[in-house]
Amino acid sequence: MEKERYKVIVNPIAGKGKAAERIPEIEAYLRECKLDFEIQVTKDVWHAAELAREAGREGFTVVVSGGGDGTANEVINGLMLAKERGDRVPALGVLSIGRGNDFSYGADIPNTLSSCIEVLSLNRRRPLDVGKVKGGFYPEGRYFGNGIGVGFDTIVGLEAAKLTHVHGFMAYVIGAFRTFIMYPEAPEVSVSFDSMAIEQQSHQISIMNGKRMGGTFFMAPDAVNYDGLFDLCMAERVNRREMISLIARYTKGTQILHPKIKTARSARYDIYAPAGGLVVHADGETICTDGKELSVQCLPGELTIICDLSKKVTHE
């Protein structure tokens, strides 16, 4: 049986800039579990993708994302680019040392470092669906692991990113406050799937492979990231009071009961805004700020992930 070799890619600025401080702790846990590993620290944006893309050619059998959702997104992109090239593709592992860790939550990865490495050592695997979004800044497409956000939550994230001296949760609070003040008009959109279409003004659209966004908001509490389908959560045009009510529901995953929420489950969605106005992120990475057309496709079982199989859930 081939011995596993682990390339651990650590984003030093993840976890409010504290991930770099955890490298000695990561090394100690990996040695304790007697894993054959090499740690590489990212130096810039997209470096994690480049490292992941080359890992199979270097003889590694597992690539471990050490960071948050952005790091996991880059690693997934790197593995998928290696697959496009026809290379051997390592399995994906995750160390949940970012802030939100939404991808980890939906992928049944623990939220403590020691437990993450224990899962790696047990080496239990299952397929992982991967999303691909085309449009905006990525006409050729960008892969994602957790989900797509269109509208309100993306604008909040962009406002939070403008803050230079405030970070983390408080930055999102201020970003949300600013977004509520300007409260952009909901664009006219058409979301097509499975020979159906929803046409309306919409303030918020989520297309989810995982369950949660923003560390708190359960946009698709019943989503399963290995069923070949994405969960849609789509809000109509709402006023400020209704948006506050919806946000409260998102934190509990009970928005399906709201009269202005529509849900669906499909392998592909096409989004068209005749007048533009689409503001979109994928796993927190900006896809467009005034888009008109997007296609979002689920690629079933494209990768293999090492996770906690005791949490396995399937749709009935």
CB 293 within 8 A of CB 264: no
Show the CA angle centred on residue 96, arms to residues 281 and 131, nearest 5°: 35
- Least Cα distance to 281 among 174, 131, 164, 171 occurs for 131
CA distances in angstroms from 185 to 137, 201, 243, 288, listed in the order given? 22, 9, 13, 17
**What is the longest distance spanned by two Cα atoms in the chain?**
60
| pLDDT of residue 1 exceeding 70 | no
Instruction: Render pLDDT for 5-47 as a digit per residue (tens, 0 to 9).
Output: 999 999 999 987 889 999 999 999 999 999 999 999 999 999 9
| pLDDT of residue 316 exceeding 60 | no
Average pLDDT over all residues of the chain: 94
Instruction: Render pLDDT for 144-189 as a digit per residue (tens, 0 to 9).
Output: 999 999 999 899 888 887 887 776 667 777 888 899 999 999 999 9
Model pTM?
0.94
**With b meaning 16 or more CB within 10 Å and e meaning fewer, what string describes 236-263?**
bebeeebbeebbebbeebebeebebbbe
CB 53 within 8 A of CB 78: yes
Fill in the DSSP letter of residue 22.
G
pLDDT at 312: 52
CATH class of segment(s) 133-300: mainly beta
| H, E, C per residue of 273-300 | CCCCCEEEEECCEEEEEEECEEEEEEEE
Q: What tokens appear for 133 in the block?
A: 């979004």
Distance CA(2)–CA(316), nearest Å, equals: 36
pLDDT at 17: 84
pLDDT at 226: 97
CATH class of segment(s) 5-123: alpha beta
Domain ranges within the chain, ordered by starting residue: 5-123, 133-300
